[in-house]
Amino acid sequence: MSNTDSLWCARRLPPKVAGEALVALEAGEASSPAVAACTSDRLLDAIGELFGPVYPFGRRRRGQDLPRPYQPDQDWPTPVAHVDGSYPTIMPNGWAVGSFVFLTKVLSRGGAFICFPGSPNRYRQAMARACHLIKGAAPQPQYAGPYCGFLAEPGDALLFHHLFGHTGSTNVANPITRHALLARWHPHERIVPGDKPFSSLSTIEKANSARYLAHHYGLDLQVVTTPNTPTHCRALGEGFACWGDLVSYTLLHFDGQAQLFYVDRSYPDTVQRLVSDDLLVWRPAAPFEPGLGPIRSLQIHQYTLEAVLGISAGVPAGAHLYHSLDLDHWAPVAQVEGVETATPWYVYARYPSKVAAGQALYVVPTAEQSTVVCQWGYEWAAAGGWATHSVAAQAPAGGVVRDLTVAAYFADSHAAIVADVTLPRAPATMLCYALPKDIALAEGPLEPLSCDTPSPPRLLRVFSRGRHYWRVSYVRQHQGQERLFWGYVDWAQSPVVLRELSSMAAFERARQIAGFV
């Protein structure tokens, strides 16, 4: 098996096996044993070689046919790269390796799988600067690079990295329909290269290790070790605060730093800003004064190159959306009346929701503060007039939703809602959550989220993610003051628990899981 750390070519199938599968597919028998036989032991062994013995996986015989019929009257457009998955993370999430088994000869412009060699390393450098921007960065030529078509013989197999830029193409050259079987693979366990010696890393670990890629290719992946100084240890164990009375905050990984926006009750009209290289020691940056009156909540979201900031403020209550490409200059986008808080997000059609699709705003209506409503459309500028909506979450009986976070935790199809909820006669808000089958449809009241924190947390924010994993911040009381702390939620564990990162070793482990080491 040959490899380039992100694109691997396996030996081809025997012609007889490929031919029998092709006959079955042309007859409409996609579930035929002849098709399953194309996922050969040789191919499964190659995938196992990439994963290594530490990462066993399900050796299932599968593959989805992606035919490319002959279309001589169609144009052959210039290929534009993308990466699969609506919410791709630095580390493999829904899948780690994709496979194509080609059953027909692939000619130039004959429906080839279009590759962008070297794109995973360029994308990885971009994500080291801003880990949420890959969907916007993937098509950009400076990240994707030049393309080439994978010209195959019947039975050839191709394996590719989860961040490999690619696209399909139209068959304008070959009168024979191109047939190829696509499958995706991930080991049973989360891939975490961590701080292993390079000599101990499997191929899939090397392909996803920031340390290895920086060393082997000279990439700038912002690989640093958090200083183990008294100042850093104190900030981790005792929390951080520079505010007197915190109203709300939000944060984003951007420009290689943590960018924290917050509102202090002493300056209720101003969005203050801090930046940090290591999440523990912060320095001030230029504030933002939107001129909306007292601010109640902040939420930030990035899905493409721009960030969208949701600010709830004013009397009567309303939400205001702003966007920015650099976090220094914010332009107003839309205004939504009659809501107490608003969380912008993107809903990938048909995956986390069969109902909602496109840009989405999760709001708590002033008239019904026990309810979270999902509103959606295709342009943020039209958010104030979106007519499509659904009830996405409901507080427990008598509860009021004060704050809301929405994020994916696995692949394209699984997302979670975490909310601050005030219950009658309760002394403080409590974190509640839901793991709905459809992220736009409530299935019942939000449930309390178990926490191992010394005091009740609130305002949970997702900073970065891994497979079934959120690395989060939140605030809680410590020594009579609300302070910022770091933690994680491992959604693969049962019961689900918000756990505090109280030691430097645990803090570093969280960085490794999210792909920053």
The DSSP code sequence of 41-71 is: HHHHHHHHHHH-TTS--------EE--B-B-
Are 200 and 299 in the same domain?
A: no
Cα(265)–Cα(310) distance, integer angstroms:
18
Cα(132)–Cα(142) distance, integer angstroms:
17
- CATH number, domain containing residue 451: 2.115.10.20
What are the pLDDT digits (tens) for 2-14?
455 677 666 678 9
Domain assignment present for residue 497? The answer is no
Torsion of the alpha carbons at 334, 251, 128 and 191, rounded to the nearest 10: -110
Written as six digits, the tokens of 354 are 């069969």
Domain assignment present for residue 21? The answer is yes
Cβ atoms 364, 339 nearer than 8 A = yes
Computed from CA positions of residues 253, 432, 450, 247, in that sequence, does the dihedral angle turn out positive or negative? Answer: positive
Cβ atoms 116, 144 nearer than 8 A = yes
Residue 264 reports pLDDT greater than 50: yes
Domain assignment present for residue 139? The answer is yes
Q: Which residues contact 288 (CB under 8 A, 6 or more apart)?
A: 261, 270, 271, 273, 330
Are 293 and 209 in the same domain?
A: no
Domain assignment present for residue 117? The answer is yes
Are 180 and 249 in the same domain?
A: no
Domain endpoint, select from 459, 477, 505? 459
Cα(78)–Cα(428) distance, integer angstroms:
57
Are 326 and 190 in the same domain?
A: no
Are 370 and 442 in the same domain?
A: yes
Q: Residue 95: enclosing H or E segment and its boundaries? A: none
Are 108 and 245 in the same domain?
A: no
pLDDT band for 88, please (50, 70, 90 cuts): confident
Are 83 and 160 in the same domain?
A: yes
pTM confidence score: 0.96
- CB hemisphere CA count around 386 (13 angstroms): 27
Are 112 and 163 in the same domain?
A: yes
Domain endpoint, select from 431, 459, 487? 459
Q: Could you tell me how many residues make up the chain?
A: 517
The DSSP call for residue 384 is: G
Token pair 């007039």 is at which residue? 385
Are 445 and 350 in the same domain?
A: yes
Are 184 and 264 in the same domain?
A: no
Number of structural domains found in the chain: 2
Computed from CA positions of residues 138, 141, 145, 148, in that sequence, does the dihedral angle turn out positive or negative? Answer: positive
What are the pLDDT digits (tens) for 330-387?
999 999 999 999 999 999 999 999 999 999 999 999 999 999 999 999 999 999 999 9
What are the pLDDT digits (tens) for 19-69?
999 999 999 999 999 999 999 999 999 999 999 999 999 999 999 999 999
Domain assignment present for residue 230? The answer is no
Domain assignment present for residue 504? The answer is no
Top pLDDT among 248 and 413 is at 248
Are 185 and 297 in the same domain?
A: no
Domain that holds residue 273: 238-459
Are 387 and 331 in the same domain?
A: yes
- CATH number, domain containing residue 26: 2.60.120.620
For the chain, give the longest Cα–Cα distance.
76
Top pLDDT among 261 and 1 is at 261
Domain assignment present for residue 499? The answer is no
The DSSP call for residue 317 is: T
Domain assignment present for residue 481? The answer is no
Cα(487)–Cα(510) distance, integer angstroms:
8
